[in-house]
Amino acid sequence: MAAALMPAREVAILLGMTPAEADTFVYAIKNGIDEPLVNAYRKGRLTTKLKLRKKVVQFAIKGSPAAQPLADSYLKEYDTL
């Protein structure tokens, strides 16, 4: 579900969490708490982020004027590490 970029609260509802559990889940995601379910959520989102970035880079290499600025911004992110 996270790979489909669904918000954390909606994922919690679909997983059948109680409102209190959903609040804890969302809090853990927002505050970088290291828990298995939170890590799974992050991994799902990052998997999609990687796929999207790969496509942007492919399009930029092929000359897409819309993709080139995005690819440049990715390079600048890397330079600031």
Please report, for the chain, the start and end positions of each structural domain, with discontinuous segments joined by +.
2-79
Q: Which stretches of the chain drop beneath a pLDDT of 50?
A: none
Structure tokens belonging to residue 60: 């930029």
Structure tokens belonging to residue 51: 């796929």
**Angle value at C-alpha 51, between 3 and 36, nearest 5 degrees:** 40
Model confidence, pTM: 0.82
Q: What is residue 80's predicted lDDT score, i.e. its pLDDT?
A: 73
Enumerate the H helices of the chain as residue ranges. 8-14, 19-30, 36-61, 67-79
Q: What is residue 41's predicted lDDT score, i.e. its pLDDT?
A: 97
Q: What is residue 20's predicted lDDT score, i.e. its pLDDT?
A: 98
Q: What is residue 78's predicted lDDT score, i.e. its pLDDT?
A: 78
b/e for 31-60, b at 16 or more Cβ within 10 A?
A: eeeeeebbeebeebbeeeeeeeeeebbebb
